[in-house]
Chain A
Amino acid sequence: MVKLPIYMDNHATTPMDKRVLDAVLPYFTEKFGNAASRNHSFGWAAEEAVDKARNQIAALINAKAKEIIFTSGATESDNLAIKGVVEFYKDKGNHVITCVTEHKAVLDSCKALERAGKATVTYLPVDKYGMVDPDDVRRAITDKTVLITIMSANNEVGTIHPIAEIGRIAKEKGVLFHCDATQGVGKIPMDVEKAGVDLLSASAHKIYGPKGVGILYVRSRGPRVRLTPIIDGGGHERGLRSGTLNVPGIVGFGAACEIAGQEMEQESARLRDLRNRLQANLFERLDEIYLNGHPTERLPGNLNLSFAYVEGESLLMGIKDVAVSSGSACTSATLEPSYVIRALGTDEELAHSSIRFGLGRFNTAEEVDYVAERVTAEVRRLRDLSPLYEMAKEGIDLKSVQWKRD
């Protein structure tokens, strides 16, 4: 028997790996020093641990240790990258290019700059698989463009953007390129040199590290990227991010990166197999289910499906011993279905019917089979309850129906 409940929402967060926990624990108690204390051994021990972590993280993305700035998480990193670049380069220009399926940390940072009159922003569309077209990026660049910000992989549908191509265009045009790699780092190869990335955001808790710690990679040469800080204080992190360093968090992020780097090849193959097994199981048993996202260029652990005629939240309720998430309006505070799924051109109805399975390091084939079983049973039950399924089976075209909206 599988152990319940099953966690299959690894895009939201991940459990901390025991090996990471072991590395972190001493830094809460006996090694509790402030990394900025330069005049005693407590401080030196903390500083040494931070340096080690900086190197571990840098190695995973082929950066230099000094190019890693510690933050509270990827949301802060995104804010710092976007607001920091726009503020610093305001004499050079004020135009930012991003895309409609970015995380809210990016989109809302852009919107805040627009509201403040500090930037104009181009929100590029994506294709039906959720991918941005590098030619659209090229065409959007003006002589006022100071920053391109495109994520490495989408958090809902898992689509992997052509980052290296976008990086090349950015270099060619002399525009800075920020990549929110929160979902990509540690799961798919990321090389800031090969990809031409100038700024990169990442977070520890997405890769089996602790919550509350992130990084912003800031390129030091070719070009040297400058930023205006958004948090002022004691001048930590080369003045770019003041505040006492979260030493246990940073140590955990370093350990998590080292493990992710060592295991990426086998682990991504294992996750791809599990994901494909789940997908095949569900497609075999159920009709009218649709894949959201790219069929091949997608995170190994991601499976986002729409189950036609079944509303997402009701499905989540039915599989309550399985933790997954939905793009349904009812699961969001805004009462709008997922803007990411809608941006793919998917019918609103199917956006309400979407479920995101996020497979991770601790999921097993046994769990995948159980989830497929439960989802199949619940989709069938809810379709028996669904007037839309009944109408579709009667041959009624749901698009031709005059619906009575409230």
Chain B
Amino acid sequence: MAYSSKVLDHYNNPRNVGSFPKDAEDVGTGVVGAPECGDVMKLQLKITPEGVIEDARFKTFGCGSAIASSSYVTELVKGKRIEEAMTIKNSAIVQELNLPPVKIHCSVLAEDAIKAAITDWKSKHEKDEKSAAAPGKAAQG
């Protein structure tokens, strides 16, 4: 199977590889896929209190198309509001990277990773709101 030039470009020069501290307040982490399925994506988003994605990092275990999908997604989400990022569809990734039908699952995984990372960030902030409502506990922390 021949790879598209965009897949090759992302595979050879992956954007935004790395990790943010998982426990940081402004970081949402999404880990999707499973090793026995041959794909695991970790996507981390740094999000402002106002809900704007400032920065993104990824690490991916998977085929070249999985690596390219996650690399592309880190570029795609930067600067977007989380509401807007939540509406990103896998079809946008398929189109940009020219993925063949057998690789569509890679784009689905990348879409899931965005949603998982934002959900993780939101859950951290729900906790904030709860701890803000209980000042005694917050003071201890």
Considering residues A337, A385, A388, which has the most beta carbons from chain B within 10 angstroms of its beta carbon? A385
A387-B11 contact in complex given A328-B63, A330-B63, C-beta closer than 8 Å: no
A384-B17 contact in complex given A313-B63, A329-B38, A390-B59, C-beta closer than 8 Å: yes
Considering residues B17, B35, B41, which has the most beta carbons from chain A within 10 angstroms of its beta carbon? B35
Q: Is the CB of A387 within 8 A of B41?
A: yes
Q: Is the CB of A348 within 8 A of B35?
A: yes
**Cβ-based interface call for B94 (8 A):** no
**Cβ-based interface call for B19 (8 A):** yes
Q: Is the CB of B64 within 8 A of A314?
A: yes
A387-B64 contact in complex given A311-B38, A314-B11, A352-B38, C-beta closer than 8 Å: no
Q: Is the CB of A406 within 8 A of B32?
A: yes
Q: Is the CB of B33 within 8 A of A403?
A: yes
CA distance A347 to B65 in the complex (A): 23
**Cβ-based interface call for A27 (8 A):** no
The B contact surface, by secondary structure, is: mixed
Name the A residues within 8 Å of B31 (CB-CB): 387, 403-404
**Cβ-based interface call for B40 (8 A):** yes
Name the B residues within 8 Å of A347 (CB-CB): 35-36
Q: Is the CB of B36 within 8 A of A314?
A: no
Q: Is the CB of A404 within 8 A of B61?
A: no
A349-B60 contact in complex given A335-B102, A385-B14, A387-B42, C-beta closer than 8 Å: no
CA distance A385 to B74 in the complex (A): 14
**Cβ-based interface call for A280 (8 A):** no
Q: Is the CB of A406 within 8 A of B112?
A: yes
Shortest Cβ distance from residue A304 to the other chain B in the assembled complex, whole angstroms: 17
**Cβ-based interface call for B109 (8 A):** yes
Q: Is the CB of A317 within 8 A of B33?
A: no
Q: Which residues of A in the span 22-48 have a Cβ within 8 Å of any Cβ on B?
A: none
Name the B residues within 8 Å of A335 (CB-CB): 102
**Cβ-based interface call for B92 (8 A):** no
Name the A residues within 8 Å of B66 (CB-CB): 311, 314
**Cβ-based interface call for B116 (8 A):** yes
Shortest Cβ distance from residue A380 to the other chain B in the assembled complex, whole angstroms: 13
Shortest Cβ distance from residue B101 to the other chain A in the assembled complex, whole angstroms: 11
A405-B11 contact in complex given A317-B64, A330-B63, A388-B61, C-beta closer than 8 Å: no
CA distance A385 to B102 in the complex (A): 23
CA distance A311 to B11 in the complex (A): 13
Q: Is the CB of A385 within 8 A of B112?
A: no
Q: Which residues of B in the span 39-87 have a Cβ within 8 Å of any Cβ on A?
A: 39-42, 59-67
Q: How large is the interface on A (under 10, 10 to 19, 20 to 34, 35 or more residues)?
A: 20 to 34
Name the A residues within 8 Å of B116 (CB-CB): 404
B interface size (C-beta, 8 A) = 32
Name the A residues within 8 Å of B112 (CB-CB): 404, 406
**Cβ-based interface call for B34 (8 A):** yes
CA distance A313 to B63 in the complex (A): 5
Q: Is the CB of B38 within 8 A of A385?
A: no
Q: Is the CB of A388 within 8 A of B40?
A: yes
CA distance A352 to B38 in the complex (A): 6
CA distance A398 to B31 in the complex (A): 13
A406-B17 contact in complex given A311-B61, A314-B67, A317-B3, C-beta closer than 8 Å: no
Q: Which of A385, A404, A405, A406 is B59 in contact with, Cβ under 8 Å? A: A385
Convert A306-318 into 0s and 1s, putting 1 for each residue whose CB lies closer than 8 angstroms to a CB of B: 0001110110011
CA distance A398 to B105 in the complex (A): 22
CA distance A124 to B62 in the complex (A): 32
Q: Is the CB of B32 within 8 A of A404?
A: yes
Q: Is the CB of A314 within 8 A of B62?
A: yes
CA distance A343 to B17 in the complex (A): 35
**Cβ-based interface call for A386 (8 A):** yes
Residues of chain A whose beta carbon lies under 8 Å from any beta carbon of chain B: 309-311, 313-314, 317-318, 328-330, 335, 337, 347-349, 352, 384-390, 398, 403-406
5 A–B contacts from the bound complex (CB under 8 Å): A348-B38, A349-B38, A385-B59, A386-B61, A406-B105
The 3 nearest A-B residue pairs measured at CB: A348-B36, A403-B34, A349-B35
Residues of chain B whose beta carbon lies under 8 Å from any beta carbon of chain A: 3, 11, 14, 17, 19, 31-42, 59-67, 102, 105, 108-109, 112, 116
12 new A-B contacts, CB < 8 A, other than A385-B61, A387-B41, A387-B42, are A311-B66, A329-B38, A330-B63, A330-B65, A349-B36, A352-B38, A384-B17, A388-B35, A388-B40, A404-B34, A405-B34, A406-B108
